[in-house]
Every structure is written in structure tokens, then in C-alpha cells.
Structure 1
Amino acid sequence: MKNYLKLMRVHHYLKNVLIFLPLVFSQNLFNIDLLSKTIFGFFSFSILSSIVYVINDIQDVEKDRRHSTKCKRPIASGAVSIKEAYVLAVFIAIVGIAFNYLACGLNIKAWLFVIMYVGFNFAYSMGFKNMPIMDITILVSGFLFRVLYGSAITSINVSNWLYLTVIAMSFYLGLGKRRNELKTEGSKSRKVLKYYNHDFLDKNMYMCLGLTIVFYSLWCVDPTTIERYPQNNLVWTVPLVMIICMKYSLNVEGESDGDPVSVLLKDKVLIALTLLYIIIVLLIIYV
């Protein structure tokens, strides 16, 4: 069971918390109907995203076996056979579809976002991961689809400023990941890395970081936001967001592999700052 969960990249399910963003910021977190839909949606999106990881590991098994760290992956190490991996992919596809039906019924828009997410990721695995800029853009689309999906299953509109914040943040995270892959493993570890250099990745990474803070700040002072939260205290979360971004950047500049989930989970201070931000936002919105 442990190897199956490792193959499914369960720790990456943390990214799917973005699905809750429309629910939280619309002050509907305690709406039982919408909350249950979002929870089912979270599990659906998480499980279906695992299919991509499983199929990708099947395709890359020979390459992974020659890699210093990827050789420890379940299929590459032999802990899970290719036949077992295919059976797992079919099983989790059925479970994921069932959860998605519970989340949105026959909501065409929600189904479309799920299909597009899976389709984009298969396109990534089939060759787009070797195309500069396109590789990062597809990774960014995954974060955006999570928010769009959360909006679709709850029928809650999301501010364009928040969408832009998610896009800019995702580019920042994606560029940071490529930066550290190039730094720690060199251009031979991934074909697309031969097209990148440290200067390009650094400049664009921090440009996107700056845009993330700008877009988030504009959302905080947007008239629609102020109308929804009359005390306008959200603007005081901007300095905390800046601190979180600086701490994350400090880790990325260090010896991390640049993977967003790993960077977060390996730093207790960053976890504490993120939890503090979540608590403050919940207090501002719901108290």
C-alpha cells in the first residue's frame, strides 16, 4: 500500500487546496452543501491527478532507473510492476470519476475543467515537457484549473485579481522549480533544461513574484473586496504574504529541489507562517 500511495504522489494533493479558494473567499465555508461538493471535488481532482503521475512513471521507467534519485520511484525500483501500475490507474480513474459525479453531478463546466486538466497533463507527458516555456505554462494551467474547478462546482465567481494572483504565483513556483533542477542536477537531467539558463530563470522568477504580490494587493483594495469585507482588514495581510514569499525564496535559493510541496513541508517556519496567514484570513472573513 505504501508503494501505491508513493506512486500516486499523495503528498502533492496539498496543491488541490486551491479548490477551496472560491468557497473560503465567498464566505461560504460553513455552507454544508457547498462544502460537501468542494470536499468531494478535492478528492476527485486529487485522485484523477494521480493517473497522470502513474502513466508518466510507466513511460519514463527506463530513464528513471538511470537517474540518481528517481530510480527510487516504485516502478523504477521494481516495488510496483508495470501491470500493477496500469490496474491502479484504471481503479483510481473509476474512483475519481465517481467522486467528481458526487461533487458536480452533470455540471458540464466542472467536467470540462477536469478533462482539460488531465488532457493538458497528458500532453505535458507526451512531449510538451520538452518545450521551453510551454512546459512551465502547462504546469501553471494546472493551478489555474484547480481554482476554476472550485468555482464551477460551487457556482461562485472569483475575482480576476485572484485569478491573476494564482497565475503569477504559479509561474513563480514553476520557474523556481526549473531553476533548482538546473542548479542541482544540470541540463542533462531534463531535456528542456538545455534551453534555460540561470539568468533567465532568476529574472523571470522574481518578476512573477513581484506580480504575485501586486495582484494580491490589488485584490485586497478592490472596491468589490472592500464591499464584501467592509472593515478592509485584508490589506494588512499583504506584509505577511511578502514575508512568506521571501522565506520561500530564501529556501529556493538554498539547497532545495525547488518542488513547491517539498519546499513548504520541509520548513517548519514556512508552515507556521502559512498557517498564520490562513488563520488571520479566516478571522477577517468570518468573525
Structure 2
Amino acid sequence: METLTEERPPAPRVAESPPAPAARSTPVALLVAMRPSEWIKNLLVFAGLLFSQKLDQSPQVVDAAVTFVAFCAISSAGYLFNDLCDAPFDRRHPEKRRRPIASGALATPLAWGSAAVLTVIGVGVALAAVSAEVAGFVALYGVITVAYSLVIKRLVILDVMTIASLFILRVVAGAVAVEAHASQWLLLCTAMLALFLGFTKRRQEAMSEESMPAASSSVREPEATVHPAEPDAGAAGSQVTRPVLEHYSLPFLDQTVAMVTAAAIMSYAIYAVNSPLIGSRMLATAPSVLYGIFRYLYLIYDRQDTRSTAAILTRDPGMIFAGVTWVGAALAMLYVFD
């Protein structure tokens, strides 16, 4: 069993054909396609509630919870839309081919219909239970997600910056929902941490692509090429499952990760020193942030962890420890020692 103090090197990987995906019932396939494990990212909507010291105010807690539900619905709609767009490429990936839409476990018409229903639920719940402004943020999230899936995901650097903007949007929407102010340093820190997660994810994907059999053609396609809905089956050798990765080199990604790591740490430190309500006492949470960032880098670089961001954050004992201690320290500084 893995511990925090004794790490084992990763077991050597043996190239083998992945097993065929197990058959799923339609409801289960739909739930899997909605990616509930990714909803952890929507917890950012509670940042405004936490840092404004309003956890003891029931109406604000309810508004934040409803906003969280709305973002879970709209983000799941986005995942369905993205998988519908990516299905032809996912079918050529040894892992992503197991996704419900790519594998055929979830019918395409049902996926389209579910995405539409989830979009209506997300915007409608926010509009009916919180405010029109929050509903606007939820709708904007959906628009950006569609733009990302159709075009932006093929644009190097802008793809990761767009993902980071969605993290900021969650924080702003959560603050608006509880009538709190999100400080500039909090937003900057959120952006830097989101860029950190985004570029480390690209590095994981780039390493994964390199480990796949080389393509028969070494011609790099233009950065913003729009791909046909179904790849040419004749291009049998091509193993590119995320075209933008052709424009990310490992040295570039390593340098970018180093830059955003430093920026994330510095911006959080400045925010912690200048916390609007409790000042520098927020520095008590800094050790957990530092450990979490260093642990994440260790998993990506040393252990070559290929799990999703959500899986690493929720399943790795070190990351869970960092998250729990950060929440505990933040609650103590904001609500106990204030």
C-alpha cells in the first residue's frame, strides 16, 4: 500500500491490447458520460462563501449549493458535447475508446438530447433559485465550452487558457451568488492554479501520445485545422487522438509548468498575506498549498501518473491530505480564531 513517506517506483508497463469495454446499461453509460468525478472542480463556487465568512448564513449556503448544482449540470452537458465531437478520435485511443459515446454504449441521439436537457436544467435552476446574473454565468460557461470543443481545443496555448477561464468563472459566479466580493488576488491565484493543472495535463497527454505507436505519416498538420467529423480510415497509421498535442513539445511544456508553478505559489502567498478579512493569518493555509503543488508535480514527473486531474485530487492520499488540511486551516483562521 502506498504511503506518504515511502514511494515505490512505477511498475514497468507492458504494451498490450486493452480489453474490450464491458457492456453497460444505458442509464449507467449516461451517468459515466456525464463524468460526475469531474464535479469536484465545481467546488470552486464555494470559495466566495468560505472566504466571505458566510458559512453560517443559511440563505447564502443554499444559494451556493444551488449554483454548484447548476454548474454540475452545465459541465456535464459540456462533457457530453465534447465527447460527441471527439468520438472519432476517441475510438483510436487505447483508453478513451472505452468512453460510452465512443464505444457505442450511449447512443448519439440520446447523448445530444441529454446535453440539451442538462443545459436547460443548469441555466433554469440558477435563474429560478439564485439570480439572473448567476444564470448568465452558467450560460456563459456553456457557450465557452461549446467554443472550446469546436475550435479552441485545436489552438495551442489558448486551449489551456480557455480552461483556466472556466475555473475563474466558477469562482466569480459563486461569489455573485452569495453577494460576496472575489478579490483580484484570489482570481489571479485561481487562474495560475488552473493553468498549472492545464499544462500538467497537457504534459500527461503528450507523454501518453509519445508512448503510442508512431504514426505512419510524420507530417504535422496546421495548428487550427478543422478536422472532418470522421477521420479517414485509410490513414490507418495515424495515432493522433488530440491534434493540438502535435504542437506541444515536452521541453516547452516543462518550461511552462515551471513558470505557472512559480506564479501560482507567489500569487497565493500574496493573497494569503493580504486576505481581505483576516490579513496575514491566511498564511496558515500556505503549507498545505505548497505540499499539494509539490505532490502533484511529483506524481506527474516522478511517478508518471496518467490519471485524470479529478482522479489524482480525489484518490491520491497525499492530495487528499493537502486538501483536508487546507480546508481545516482555512476554517480555523476564518471562523475560529477570527
Interval containing the TM-score (normalised by the shorter chain): over 0.9
Q: Name 1:194's counterpart in structure 2.
A: 246
| Aligned equivalents of 2:113, 2:139: Cα separation in 1 | 20
| Aligned equivalents of 1:258, 1:204: Cα separation in 2 | 20
For 1:142-171, what per-residue CA distance to the aligned partner results, in whole angstroms no more than 9, with x for missing partners? 101000111121221011111110011111
Q: Name 1:243's counterpart in structure 2.
A: 291
Q: Is the 8 A contact 2:101 2:107 kept in 1?
A: yes
2:320 to 248, 257, 271: 271
Q: Is the 8 A contact 1:38 1:103 kept in 2?
A: no
- The one-letter code matched in structure 2 to 1:40 is V
Query: 1:90 Cα shift?
Result: 2.5
- Gaps (5+ residues) in structure 1? none
- The one-letter code matched in structure 2 to 1:9 is R
Q: Name 2:51's counterpart in structure 1.
A: 25
Aligned residue pairs total 281
**TM-score normalised per structure 2:** 0.79
Q: Name 1:257's counterpart in structure 2.
A: 306
| Aligned equivalents of 1:58, 1:244: Cα separation in 2 | 34
**Which structure dedicates a bigger proportion of its chain to helix?**
1
For 1:59-94, what per-residue CA distance to the aligned partner results, in whole angstroms no more than 9, with x for missing partners? 222222222111101111111111111221222223
**TM-score normalised per structure 1:** 0.93
For 1:168-223, what per-residue CA distance to the aligned partner results, in whole angstroms no more than 9, with x for missing partners? 1111110000011101223823111111111111111121111111111111111x
SS in 1 for 2:240: helix
Q: Is the 8 A contact 2:292 2:318 kept in 1?
A: no
Q: Is the 8 A contact 1:176 1:258 kept in 2?
A: no
Does 2:73 align with 1:47? yes
Q: CA RMSD in A?
A: 1.6
SS in 1 for 2:202: helix
| Aligned equivalents of 2:309, 2:329: Cα separation in 1 | 22
Q: Name 2:82's counterpart in structure 1.
A: 56
- The one-letter code matched in structure 1 to 2:64 is T
Query: 1:55 Cα shift?
Result: 1.4
Q: Name 2:138's counterpart in structure 1.
A: 114
Identity among equivalent pairs (%)? 29
For 1:12-36, what per-residue CA distance to the aligned partner results, in whole angstroms no more than 9, with x for missing partners? 0000000000110010012111110
